[in-house]
Amino acid sequence: MLSPDTLALAGIALYQRWLSPHKGFRCAHAAFYGGASCSAAIAQTIRDEGLNLSAITSRLAACRQAYGHLQVTGGPRVRGVCCCGPLPIPFRCG
């Protein structure tokens, strides 16, 4: 039986391989701060710490906050939300 960590990493890998390249935009955190996208950062968290829900939730909250900063500062236009959960994660236009 596969561990929850392995299943989560497999899901992220599928998203990164098959969905992310076709959506045409990136997460607000990466657009505002630079660096890794949320999917890459969360995958690294899972590899380092396991399914640390506190760290994952914090990253998603930071992405949502970055979205707010982009809206206020007139940064890159942002659109869309992540389809994998109740927490909306905005993305930057390509």
**Each residue's pLDDT tens digit, 40-71:** 999 999 999 999 999 999 999 999 888 888 87
Number of domains in the chain: 1
| Of 13, 24, 19, the residue nearest 77 (C-alpha) | 24
| Mean pLDDT for the chain overall | 82
Give residue 88's domain range: 4-93
The confidence score (pLDDT) of residue 78 equals: 53
Q: Cα(61)–Cα(67) distance, rounded to whole angstroms?
A: 10
> By mean pLDDT, which of 32-36, 42-46, 53-57, 72-76 is the weakest?
72-76
The pTM for the full model equals 0.77
The confidence score (pLDDT) of residue 92 equals: 47
